[in-house]
Amino acid sequence: MQSPHVTTRPVILWFRRDLRLQDNPALNRAIEAERPVLPVFILDEGAERLLGGAARWWLDKSLRALASNLEARGSRLILRRGDSLSVLQGLITETGAEALFLNRSFEPAGFERDADIAYALQADGVSCHGFNGSLLCPPGSVLNGSGQPYKVFTPFMKALLGKFEPPAGLEPPARIVTPQIASDGLDEWGLHPRRPDWSGGFDWTPGEAGALDNLSAFINGGLKTYSHGRDIPGRANTSRLSPHLHWGEISPWRAVREAREAAVQGRVPAAEAEKFVAEIVWRDFSTHLLHHFPFIESRAFRAEYDAMPWRDDPAALEAWRRGQTGYPLVDAGMRQLWATGWMHNRVRMVVASFLVKHLMIDWREGEAWFWDTLVDADLASNVQNWQWVAGSGADAAPYFRIFNPTAQGQKFDGDGAYVRRWVPELCRLPDKWIQAPWTAPTEILRDAGVRLGDTYPRPVVDHDVARARALNALKAVSGRG
Ligand code: FAD
């Protein structure tokens, strides 16, 4: 409970990718300052990479949820738009605010912006207080024996989990005193898509309550069989926490803590909980890599891979984007992405490999499409995973790993549940042919109502030909040719 003896000079609580009240170190420390608190969100479209369409959809709803949580505590979310430093300086002039509290950004552009802002505000006599609210631990806090960043995941994970334990949870204050000042209206920001509104299939509840509901549903459901079930795209076996974690609607330590508590209470096997924890560590690993090697946003971590002879093939790229490649698992994934703003991890790997290796289209094209269409679009995770698939990343898949989309479908979607859901024109094909309709006998296709090249495309490339082409190129650039 905030003390009633607050002085009138407020402090600013700058929300960014920490859109929650629980487990929010910046909020709790701002309250301890015993001043009125001005919770602010700034839409700054110049400082970092412009948000994609699906992320804008999410942000719109997440801000509404945060605003109503603040209102329930007697406070109010102030929305402003523009250059962050100018907006903050304007707020300081307007309200006499004497300090800024924030959870820090560790992506390269945000990190630099925060440093510039802290420098400028401190020069004006406004103190700045930064915390880690988004990662298990801040970049730089887990280094190898030579004091260098880890480039391989497993030793990074061991070092991180050996050094850090989940911190105790932080409860938000019951009341937050906020001065009355003007705010933009969220509708004016136009974050929700119009003309056309393509978000009809977005089945999400952005915001802190939605995040906590997802976590508890997962712990009571998918977590019990996570390590195997997480690879089956037709099953709801994963947490679907990625967009919530991206926007900081839940702290990653909270997810770790609850999974481990469920294991201690015997509600889930410990090995399943730790597999889930390892995935959360991948998220940290991605951000640490991007922080230490910022060039990987646009260039290969292994420089030799930038010599790949990428093909310029707009028709193939468009077929991939629209889920019209003729490979059912790839098409199902790309359509799930378009319809819901999310795609299952196993299928992300398959579609990414298909673009980069079968079609030999630059991973940056795929990264850009994901960036625009994923509700969980996250610069570090996206870039790291695309480079992992392309073979050019720090701890990447070996260059010769070329997913066979048909075999992947047969292995992980053997009953075709996922393909039937997202590629309905194939739904009447028997399991045996659903992952490779071009191999089905004519009468089977006819009975299923499939006319290749008409109701469903023929494969845009032949797997064996594409595989050989990619292997030759990859061998040459990686120096194994
Ligand atoms: P769960 O299996 O429940 O995992 C729990 C959490 O761990 C996830 O929410 C996520 O925060 C983290 N996580 C899991 N796998 C990974 C991983 N491989 N890398 C980093 N973090 C991971 N994830 C994003 O959050 N944003 C992206 O932009 C993104 N782009 C990707 C691009 C490609 C080409 C690939 C192959 C993967 C990408 N991923 C990305 C990682 C992964 O696919 C998603 O995090 C995962 O599918 C989210 O579903 P979930 O929350 O149910 O995952």
Beta strand 78-81 with 127-131 is: unpaired
Buried b (16+ CB within 10 A) or exposed e, 347-363: bbbbbbbbbbbbbbbbb
Q: Calculate how far, in angstroms, residue 345's C-alpha sits from the geometric centre of ligand 1.
A: 6
Strands (E), 126-231: 127-131
Judged against a pLDDT cut of 80, whether residue 5 lies above it is answered with no
Q: Is 249 a catalytic residue?
A: no
Q: What are phi and psi of 5, to 5 degrees?
A: -85, 50
Q: What whole-number distance in Å separates Cα of residue 23 and Cα of residue 26?
A: 9
- ipTM of this complex > 0.95? yes
162-179: pLDDT as tens digits: 999 999 999 999 999 999
> Best substitution site from 227, 242, 337, 412 to test ligand 1's pocket, by max atoms within 8 Å of Cβ?
242
Q: Is 279 a catalytic residue?
A: yes
- Global pTM reads 0.97
Q: Residue of the nearest CA to atom 6 in ligand 1?
A: 280
The arithmetic mean of pLDDT across residues 109-117, rounded, is 97
Check whether 440 has a pLDDT greater than 70: yes
Is residue 3 over pLDDT 70? no
Residue 436 confidence (pLDDT) above 70: yes
Q: Which of the pair, 400 or 333, is modelled with greater confidence?
A: 333
Nearest protein Cα to ligand 1, atom 36: 349
- 330 CB neighbour count, 10 Å cutoff: 31
Percent of the chain at pLDDT exceeding 90: 95
Q: What is the pLDDT of residues 17-60, one digit of tens each?
A: 999 999 999 999 999 999 999 999 999 998 889 999 999 999 99
Q: Which of 345, 382, 395 to mutate to test the pocket of ligand 1 (most atoms within 8 A of CB)?
A: 345
Q: Which of 249, 381, 388, 408 to mutate to test the pocket of ligand 1 (most atoms within 8 A of CB)?
A: 381
- Residue 230 CA, ligand 1 centroid: distance in Å: 11
Active-site annotation holder among 198, 310, 425, 438: 310
Percentage of the chain surpassing pLDDT 70? Answer: 98
Q: What's the token pair of residue 210?
A: 């939605």
Given pLDDT bands bounded at 50, 70 and 90, which one contains residue 396? confident
Query: Phi, psi (5° rounding) for residue 282?
Result: -55, -35
pLDDT of 437 higher than 50: yes
Nearest CA to ligand 1 atom 30: 382
Q: Which two tokens stand for residue 162?
A: 């050996």
Residue nearest (by alpha carbon) to ligand 1 atom 2:
238
Residue 381: per-residue pLDDT: 98
Determine which one of 57, 204, 363, 371 is catalytic: 363
Nearest atom, ligand 1, residue 384 CA: 19
Answer yes or no: 310 catalytic: yes
Taking the centre of ligand 1 as the mean of its atom positions, its distance from the CA of residue 79, in whole angstroms, is 29
Active site residue 386: yes
> Pocket residues for ligand 1 (CB within 6 Å)?
230, 238-242, 245-246, 279-280, 282-283, 286, 345, 348-349, 352, 370, 374, 376-378, 381-382, 385-386, 389
pLDDT, tens digit, 9 for 90 and up, residues 453-474 = 999 999 999 999 999 999 999 9
Q: Which atom of ligand 1 is nearest to the CA of 352?
A: 34
CA distances, 114 to each of 101, 105, 108 (Å): 11, 7, 10
Check: CB of residue 41 under 8 Å from CB of residue 248: no
Has 103 been annotated as catalytic? no
Confidence check: pLDDT of 4 > 80: no
pLDDT digits (tens, 9 = 90+) for 70-107: 999 999 999 999 999 999 999 999 999 999 999 999 99
Report d(CA 202, CA 10) in Å as an integer: 38
Give the number of the atom of ligand 1 that is nearest the alpha carbon of residue 280: 7
3-state secondary structure of 127: strand
236-248 pLDDT tens trace = 999 999 999 999 9
14, 282, 371, 422: the catalytic one is 282
Q: Reply yes or no on whether 57 is catalytic.
A: no
- Lowest mean per-residue pLDDT among 2-11, 205-214, 270-279: 2-11
The per-residue pLDDT for 48 is 85
388 pLDDT above the threshold of 70 = yes
From the candidates 48, 261, 279, 425, which is the catalytic residue? 279
Band the pLDDT of 481: cuts 50, 70, 90.
Answer: low
Average pLDDT over residues 267-278: 98
Q: Given a cut of 90, is residue 273 above it in pLDDT? A: yes
Please report which confidence band the pLDDT of residue 6 belongs to, taking 50, 70 and 90 as the band edges: very low
Where does the pLDDT of residue 7 fall: very low under 50, low under 70, confident under 90, or very high at 90 and above?
A: low
Q: Closest Cα to residue 235, out of 246, 221, 245? A: 221
Residue pLDDT, tens place only, 307-327: 999 999 999 999 999 999 999
Residue 218 has pLDDT above 80, yes or no: yes
| Nearest atom in ligand 1 to 285's CA | 20
Query: Could you tell me the distance, in angstroms and rounded to a whole number, from the CA of residue 348 to the centre of ligand 1?
Result: 9
- State the sign of the Cα–Cα–Cα–Cα dihedral 147, 158, 342, 321: positive
Which residues make beta-bridge pairs with 102?
A: 14, 130
